[in-house]
Amino acid sequence: MDLSQGSKYFIKDIGVEPSISEGEKWKLNQRPIFKILMATRMAKLAKRHDLLIKALSELDASIAWELTLVGEGEKKEEIEELILDLNLQKRIQIFPFMKQEKLKKIMLDSDLLCLATDYEGLSKIIIESMSVGLPVLASDVVPLNQYIIDGDNGYLAINTVMGWKEKFIQIIKNKEQSENVSSQAIKFIRNNYNPNKNILMYEKEFLSLLESKSQTTA
């Protein structure tokens, strides 16, 4: 949010909804199938479901994976056609937008949250996933690469089919590393997107803006 008054401004996000961040956290699962989730609008601008799908299609046949797409939008038919063209309909399922409680269950049952995009603001689905410890793989673009540290609190992929493919192979072959990424992600959210802490910043800035306005009108 951008609150401004003259030359003074304040940019901050309130944080993650308690309904998402509180309660059960993600745990590493040793099942043979690697479950991937991408939950975002299927928009013609920016979002790159195609990179994600094409990269997965090029993985070695010995790698077992499933992709769940959650979202709707004008690009949905194009995405469905790509899935059919690559004969991936048995590995990829699409759901419409859903309530947070249901989405959280899918998040906790996934191995990785992905966001393939050409550009993005602060992504709510990313910080929500990080808050429950679900490892995140996102496009290496601004500002995502300003708060996701590759190999530390998440993963970043070069925004090409090959870049995404190589990152998938790295993550799947080193699943145990995701445990550390998960714990670092939770710490990052607690330090930066805790609504109980951030609301105090909002109060402070509101008072400062009001005081500044009263001085200019006095």
Q: Contacts by 147-150 with C-beta closer than 8 Å and gap 24+?
A: 147/188, 147/192
pLDDT at 3: 44
Cα atoms found within 13 Å of the Cα of residue 19, Cβ hemisphere only? 7
**Which of 152, 156, 180 shows the shortest CA–CA distance to 166?**
156
Angle at 103 between CA 41 and CA 28, to 5 degrees: 115
Residue 93 pairs with which residues in a beta bridge? 68
Question: What pTM, to 2 d.p., does this model score?
Answer: 0.84
CA distances from 202 to 11, 47, 92 (A): 10, 31, 41
**Phi, psi at residue 96, to the nearest 5°?**
-75, 170
pLDDT at 17: 72
Contact 158, 180 (CB under 8 A): no
pLDDT at 64: 97
pLDDT at 163: 98
DSSP one-letter code for 89: T
Q: How many CB atoms lie within 10 A of CB 191?
A: 9
Preceding omega of 143 cis (within 30 degrees of 0)? yes
pLDDT at 200: 45
Dist CA 127 CA 136 (whole Å): 9
pLDDT at 127: 93
The maximal CA–CA distance of the chain, rounded, in angstroms, is 73
- Please enumerate in sequence order all residues whose Cβ is within 8 A of that of 20, keeping only pairs 6 or more positions apart, or say none: 100, 104, 128, 131, 132
CATH class held by domain 31-194: alpha beta
Average pLDDT per block of 10 residues along the chain, 218 residues long: 47 62 92 97 94 98 97 97 98 96 96 96 91 97 93 98 98 96 96 63 55 62
